[in-house]
């Protein structure tokens, strides 16, 4: 008689960095009630650069805040890797954000009295961790800030400051980096450089980045665009070009989700020819 060997089942979530199921957020009560997110199901792959886009008020910030554990859901579930974050208490969420999530904001949020290097290592050192020097050097290399490490923020351009902020977000090797309008404070040229560095971080360092932006040209640097409309996922675009994103945005604006906007806007563009400086740049 032979013993059957059951091979371990590969979890479906193996390549998924962030996931939401039925994620819903309702603000206010009664007449003032707003459903900002309405049963959103979405997945973000590891080692992918995804942009979240949609008209103003479509729920982009709300989705990002819920996925990053910065705000609580009304109902539904969200996971970072295999950790369900929608059931964590405040302390566990604080630890999860510190250990497993990186943030890049429109305002660079660097401390003015510290050098670039001190800013980059600060969160890891405050958390009691040890800086991985080889990884630090690799980040400085890929983000092209080696010559700026001894400079204070006031001695750097906006683009350089944002690259320092990206290095700070990546130093702890987070499972995912959330970037909220990372080029919102930059001119078109520095914005394009920062986006190119974000893309390189994904390609060369294996980072996972989820970026909220209103700018089709910025979104065209991502591997994939998720389109939100009225608190629903209204479509997605693989390998987006700025033109494909604009067309997708036009298609979802004003369309009710029951009309199945998704099927009409799923398209594949090309990542080439995505010169920054599109309609909203």
Q: Who's near 159: CB < 8 A, 6+ residues apart?
A: 186, 189, 190, 191, 193, 194
Is 56:249 a contact under the CB 8 Å cutoff? no
Q: What Å distances lie between residue 44 and 79, 118, 135, CA to CA?
A: 10, 31, 24
Nearer to ligand ADP, 64 or 116 (CB): 64
Per the CB < 8 A criterion, the answer to whether 112 and 152 are in contact is yes
Least Cα distance to 236 among 257, 267, 211, 260 occurs for 267
Shortest spacing between CB 210 and ligand ADP, in angstroms:
13
Q: Is 56 near ligand ADP (CB under 6 A)?
A: yes
CB of residue 60 to ligand ADP, shortest distance in Å? 4
60 near ligand ADP, rule: CB under 6 A: yes
For the CA atoms of 220, 49, 58, 256, what is the dihedral angle to 10 degrees? 80
Instruction: Give yes or no for a contact between 233 and 225, defined as CB atoms under 8 angstroms apart.
Output: no
Out of 13, 15, 34, 206, point to the residue binding ligand ADP (CB under 6 A): 34
Task: By CB under 6 A, tell whether 213 contacts ligand ADP.
Answer: no
Which residue lies nearer to ligand ADP by CB, 62 or 208?
Answer: 62
Q: Select from 14-22, 57-65, 118-126, 198-206 the region that touches ligand ADP (CB under 6 A).
A: 57-65
Question: Does the protein bind ligand ADP through residue 36 (CB under 6 A)?
Answer: yes
User: Rule CB under 6 A: is residue 280 a binding residue for ligand ADP?
Assistant: no
Of 50, 58, 207, 274, which one interacts with ligand ADP (CB under 6 A)? Answer: 58
Token representation of residue 223 = 């591997």
Question: 21, 39, 61, 122: which one contacts ligand ADP (CB under 6 A)?
Answer: 61
Q: Name which of 14 and 31 has its Cβ closer to ligand ADP.
A: 31
Rounded Cα gap, residues 113 and 123, in angstroms: 15
Which of residues 70 and 205 has its CB atom nearest to ligand ADP in the complex?
70
- Touching ligand ADP, residues 163-192 (CB under 6 A): none
Between 6 and 32, CB nearer to ligand ADP: 32
Quick check: helix, strand or coil at residue 20?
A: strand
Q: Under 8 Å CB-to-CB from 226, ≥6 apart: which residues?
A: 42, 50, 51, 52, 53, 233, 236
Residues that bind ligand ADP (CB under 6 A): 27-28, 34, 36, 54, 56-62
């Amino acid at each position: 008689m032979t013993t059957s060997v059951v091979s371990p089942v590969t979890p479906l979530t193996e390549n998924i960095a962030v996931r939401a199921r039925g994620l819903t957020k309702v603000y206010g009560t009664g007449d003032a009630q707003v459903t900002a997110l309405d049963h959103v199901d979405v997945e973000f792959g590891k080692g992918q650069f995804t942009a979240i886009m949609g008209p103003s008020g479509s729920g982009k910030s709300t989705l990002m805040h819920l996925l990053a554990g910065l705000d609580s859901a009304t109902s539904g579930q969200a996971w970072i890797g295999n950790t369900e974050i929608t059931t964590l208490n405040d302390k566990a969420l604080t630890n999860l954000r510190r250990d497993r999530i990186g943030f890049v904001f429109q305002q660079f949020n660097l401390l003015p009295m510290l050098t670039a290097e001190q800013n980059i290592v600060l969160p890891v050192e405050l958390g009691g961790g040890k800086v991985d020097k080889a990884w630090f050097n690799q980040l400085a290399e890929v983000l092209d800030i080696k010559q700026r490490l001894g400079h204070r923020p006031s001695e750097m351009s906006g683009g350089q400051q944002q690259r320092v902020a990206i290095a700070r977000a990546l130093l702890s090797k987070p499972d995912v980096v959330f970037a909220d309008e990372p080029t919102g404070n930059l001119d078109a040229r520095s914005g394009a450089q920062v986006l190119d560095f974000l893309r390189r971080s994904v390609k060369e360092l294996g980072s996972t980045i989820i970026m909220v932006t209103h700018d089709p040209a910025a979104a065209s640097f991502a591997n994939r665009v998720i389109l939100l409309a009225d608190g629903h996922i209204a479509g997605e675009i693989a390998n987006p070009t700025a033109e494909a994103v604009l067309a997708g945005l036009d298609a979802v604006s004003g369309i009710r989700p029951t009309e199945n906007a998704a099927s009409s806007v799923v398209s594949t563009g090309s990542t080439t020819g995505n010169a920054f400086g599109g309609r909203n740049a």
